Amino acid sequence: MIICRCEEVSYKELETTATKYKCSARELKFRTRAGMGYCGGRSCRAMIDKIANTSSNTQNHTCVSLKYQPPVRPINFGNLGGYDK
Assess whether pLDDT exceeds 60 at residue 85.
no
Most confident stretch, 4-13, 18-27, 40-49: 4-13
pTM (predicted TM-score):
0.65
Tell me the CA distances in angstroms from 19 to 43, 52, 54, 57, 59, one per residue in order.
22, 9, 10, 6, 11
Dump the DSSP string for 19-33.
Answer: HHHT--HHHHHHHH-
What is the chain's mean pLDDT, rounded?
80
Q: Count of CB atoms within 10 A of residue 62's CB? A: 7
**pLDDT of res. 58:** 46
Q: Over the stretch 36-65, which tens digit does the pLDDT of each residue have?
A: 888 888 889 999 999 988 875 545 555 555
